[in-house]
Amino acid sequence: MKNISLSKVRMSNWGFDYSDMTIGNMFRKQSEIYGNREFLHFLEDGRRYSWKDMDRLSNCLANGLVKAGVAAGEHVAVVMTNCPEQILSYLALGKIGAVAVPINSSARGKVLSHQLNYSDSKWVIAESLLVDRILEVDAPLLQKIFVLGDSTNSEARLDSFLALLDSPDSEPDVVVKFSDLAMLMFTSGTTGPSKANMYVHATVVQMGMSTAETYGYRFDDVLYVALPLNHVNAYVCTTWGSIIAGASVALSRKFSVSRYWSEIRSSNATGTHMLSSMVNMLWNQPVAITDADNALRFMVLTPMPSFALKWEKRFGVRVIMSYGLSDYAMATSFNMLDPVSKLGSAGRPRPGIELRVVDAQDLDVPENESGEIVLRSNNPWGISMGYYKNPEATAAATRNLWWHTGDYGYLDEDGYLFFIERKKEAIRRRGENISAFEVESVLLDLPQVAEAAVFGLPSELGDEEVCAAIQLIDGAKLNAADLVAYCMEHMAIYMVPRYVQFLTQFPRTDTYKIQKEELRRKAMESLSSLWDREIMSPSRSSSLT
């Protein structure tokens, strides 16, 4: 098949030289342009910050950190839920050449200990409610925790975050280069210890440029952010995309089904990014006459749901999407210039990205045939520099000089990418490769089903059996026998789940992805309690209405 490449058309640099591409330089330049215009609105308490406010306060914080002993090149973990102080922390650390290490605010115990120690974090910026769990873990390198809010803990290593702001607002006297390490961004770590991607300053800036360019951000846009700021989507893409475009950010503390549309309306948001579970939660809410009462001109839904056209009609907004991963960058985009006939695809490679779909030997597969998605960038410093302290994993991912995503998809005859599933989510049963995504798609066609997660469990035969975890819509009734009977009528027999379990909620990552490894672990611990088709033998003639 042909190699789909736009590598000769590099991403626009928006008029900035590489020497400009440091976090401090970029925000200062944009602040000089946009001045007293609003940059940030924190929806929880109504606080508003202009561009000048954020630039001045981040200078104060930067100088306060230097005075406290934080030096260029040192690693500082940031453990917070969404708030203005979190963005200020990232900006301030960038201005003094320190390395920000965003950590999931729900992390605790072994996971938190691993991330603090693996990242070599000497300092922590944290909210007061999260301090005790940090102090509970073994972190020998940790010197000081700067605490936002009141803490009852008398630990000597605690210091006040707000006291750091009582410092001069002049530009920090620190030389920072675009190629200096700026952030360690952790992967989800749902299948093992999380790895950390190395982003230099130019990576952060260019990912923002890529987002702004791909989705057509404008200076008069308001981007609603409810995804956690410790994640690449919310901070590196959306927030920095807003910084590049001169747009403003409406920040929510966290995603809430009940508050979502009221916050969209009250903030006059014109664009937002959402992930699959959030989309399903909102879609399953009762239809209201106010659904289309919003100022949104686009919503980025990842992945694109099967009901995308119905979503556009119901909520009065154009749906677009992209394919990307924190380990690499945004690779493709389906934007408002693409034809509706391609709705459902992840779009085409963005400028500067080469994309192939390959077999197990890294050879191209034909058009419309599934294989692993591999990537290569022609944008210098535009992607992760690899995994921190893990050259083996970096080398494995870059086999044959292409980044191996671990994702399955296919390219159609026009070069549009269709994402299928994570490679690790494929189930091998009795010689057949089963797509968890395809089984889930059938299950989600049932009107009673709100969400479905399909994964493999060990088989007595040495391969895997299909297990389906189901969450029903409130008030709906459905039994396992009827569910399986429906599957038998709508999918190949080898794909039909053997095991079924009904759950009231799913374990999730901080970006609302279902943690299938956690579901798998719990299912294996209680295998005998699962509904088992081999034992129950439901009638194939059962039907659903």
Domains of the chain: 430-536 (3.30.300.30)
Beta-bridge partner residues of 99? 75
Statement: residue 544 has pLDDT above 70: no
| Confidence at residue 13, expressed as pLDDT on a 0 to 100 scale | 64
Tell me the pLDDT tens digit for each residue of 123-147.
Answer: 999 999 999 999 999 999 999 999 9
Which has the minimum average pLDDT: 98-102, 482-486, 487-491?
487-491
Q: How many helices (H) and strands (E) does the chain have?
A: 16, 27
| Confidence at residue 229, expressed as pLDDT on a 0 to 100 scale | 95
Q: What is the pTM of this model?
A: 0.81
| C-alpha distances in Å from residue 277, one per residue of 14, 192, 409, 430 | 34, 22, 20, 31
CB 1 within 8 A of CB 411: yes
Q: Which residue has the higher pLDDT, 498 or 192?
A: 498
Tell me the pLDDT tens digit for each residue of 456-481.
Answer: 998 876 678 999 999 999 999 999 99
Tell me the pLDDT tens digit for each residue of 179-196.
Answer: 999 999 988 544 446 789
Q: Please count the CA atoms within 13 angstroms of the CA of 286 that sit on its side-chain side.
A: 4
Q: How far, in whole angstroms, is CA 538 from its chain's centroid?
A: 40
As a whole number, the mean pLDDT across the chain is: 89
Q: What's 173's DSSP letter?
A: S
Strands 4-5 and 353-358 turn out to be antiparallel
Q: Band the pLDDT of 352: cuts 50, 70, 90.
A: confident
Tell me the pLDDT tens digit for each residue of 250-281.
Answer: 999 999 999 999 999 999 999 999 877 788 88
| Confidence at residue 105, expressed as pLDDT on a 0 to 100 scale | 87
Mean pLDDT over 302-312 rounds to 87
CA angle 143, 148, 152 (to 5 degrees): 80
Please, what is the end-to-end C-alpha distance for the chain in angstroms? 44
| Confidence at residue 294, expressed as pLDDT on a 0 to 100 scale | 97
| Confidence at residue 108, expressed as pLDDT on a 0 to 100 scale | 78
Tell me the pLDDT tens digit for each residue of 286-296.
Answer: 999 999 999 99
| Confidence at residue 9, expressed as pLDDT on a 0 to 100 scale | 34
Mean pLDDT over 157-176 rounds to 96
- Helix 51-68 vs helix 23-34: crossing angle, to nearest 10: 150
Mean pLDDT over 525-530 rounds to 91
Q: Band the pLDDT of 8: cuts 50, 70, 90.
A: very low
Residues 20/22/25/27 CA torsion (nearest 10 deg): 120
**What percent of the chain shows pLDDT beyond 90?**
68
Mean pLDDT over 428-455 rounds to 84
| Confidence at residue 424, expressed as pLDDT on a 0 to 100 scale | 67
Statement: residue 200 has pLDDT above 90: yes
